[in-house]
Amino acid sequence: MIEKISMPGQKRSIRFFGASLDALDIPEAVNIKRAYVEALSLGGYFQSNLQDPYDLFRDIMGNQIKECGHQNLGRFVVDSWLTPKPQVSDLDLIREESYRYFLINDGFRAFAQLLRDFVKAHVFPHIPGMIGVDHSLTGGVLMALSECFGPENLGVLVFDVHTDAIPLPIRSGLVQYASEVGLPAVSTISKPMTFDPYTTGNFLSHLIGEKIILPKNLIVIGPGDNAEKLRTLSDKRVVDYMRHYDSLVERGVKIISKDQLQQSGPATIQKDLDQLECSKLYVSLDVDVSAQCGVLATRFVDLVGTEISIILEAAFNIVELLSLHRFSLVGLDIMEIDIQKIGARLSSGIEDRTRDFIREFIGAIVQGVSY
């Protein structure tokens, strides 16, 4: 599972790599892959030759990574049928049943563990910079960092329009309730679940439960699920959701909702960062934190996110803290990029700005952090 790479130089800098696991079992995701492969088999013309988010990253950043003293390493290898653009030979595997089997047999956890080993073998002692799809892979990098520094020393800052610390049965219940009453809510990331395998919507909960990260060291920025507005509802599925949400906060997880972020601005992030007692910081950007607010090229557009400008302002604030040596950056990632939607344009005239978002976010980090 490891693509062999070299790591020249002695300076501790960011080593960027691709990790494009994309294995949703929902019909829409599977149908897009099948349509792509069927068109590929017929010699179809594609406007973009980009195969995955790592291709996009290299296209966007050009020589800037090298000029700033960092490096592109290559890819963490993922089986073709589990990537955004499978090969023609994978057609028989591109079915809901195949991806469902992968999920229920803990395939996401297996890949996170393989990624942990990849980071330890090929990235350390440098700083991992992951560009990819399924957010659950962030857990693999955090496993490696937790082993290296200890969970008590590892702060985790996640930009995400979803609170990826909700057990799947509870999340499924909320989705079902919202569908019945016509309320906006997080979309399902799989068919309804009665058990809780490790995956993109709950990986933070698993990492906390396994003491890989500490709840008091976790900050989640931008959830748009309107948790406070759900508090007055009496349906058991909503009550279960709120009970779990409150348990996260009681254990020390700091959650800055989209509404709070828009009302108070990035200064509210500074307050929570100041409360962290650890000195190491990992930054994870799920691009859907700005879904429908400039970002269209993400797998989930079920909730309206936060304006790109606010997220970028927060990124510059984080870089300032790093330059003041309040924290040392030990890793970052850009996840949940949907390569099929890059450059999309809606009938309303709204155009996708995901490329610019990625360029400016990473540009702030690589130019503002020197090692």
Q: What pTM does this model have?
A: 0.93
Q: Looking at residues 214-227, what average pLDDT do you find?
A: 91
CA-to-CA dists, residue 14 to 71, 78, 329, angstroms: 6, 22, 9
Rounded to 5 degrees, φ, ψ at 106 are 60, 40
Q: Where are the domains of the chain?
A: 14-368
pLDDT higher than 50, residue 8? no
Helix (H) or strand (E) holding 128: strand 127-132
Q: What angle do CA 228, 215, 126 make, to 5 degrees?
A: 125
* C-beta of residue 265 within 8 angstroms of C-beta of residue 311: no
pLDDT of residue 22: 97
CATH 3.40.800.10 is right for the domain spanning 14-368: yes
Q: How confident is the model at residue 349 (pLDDT cuts 50, 70, 90)?
A: confident
Q: Looking at residues 211-239, what average pLDDT do you find?
A: 90
pLDDT of residue 370: 57
pLDDT higher than 70, residue 51? yes
pLDDT higher than 80, residue 317? yes
Q: Tell me the average pLDDT of the chain.
A: 90
Cα distance between residue 296 and residue 352, in whole Å? 5
Name the token pair of 34. Answer: 């099948």
**What does R_g of the chain's alpha carbons equal in angstroms?**
19
Instruction: Tell me the one-letter amino acid at 98.
Output: S
Cα distance between residue 200 and residue 108, in whole Å? 8
* C-beta of residue 362 within 8 angstroms of C-beta of residue 338: no
pLDDT higher than 90, residue 43? no
pLDDT of residue 6: 39
Q: What angle do CA 50, 53, 59 make, to 5 degrees?
A: 60
Cα distance between residue 164 and residue 134, in whole Å? 12
Cα distance between residue 141 and residue 119, in whole Å? 7
pLDDT of residue 371: 45
pLDDT of residue 2: 38
Q: DSSP for 269-292?
A: HHHHHHH---SEEEEEEEGGGGBT
Lowest-pLDDT range, 114-123, 133-142, 213-222, 253-262?
A: 253-262
pLDDT higher than 70, residue 188? no
Cα distance between residue 171 and residue 169, in whole Å? 5
pLDDT higher than 90, residue 337? yes
Percent of the chain at pLDDT > 70 equals 92
Is the backbone peptide bond immediately before 184 cis, with ω within 30 degrees of 0?
no
Name the token pair of 259. Answer: 């509404």
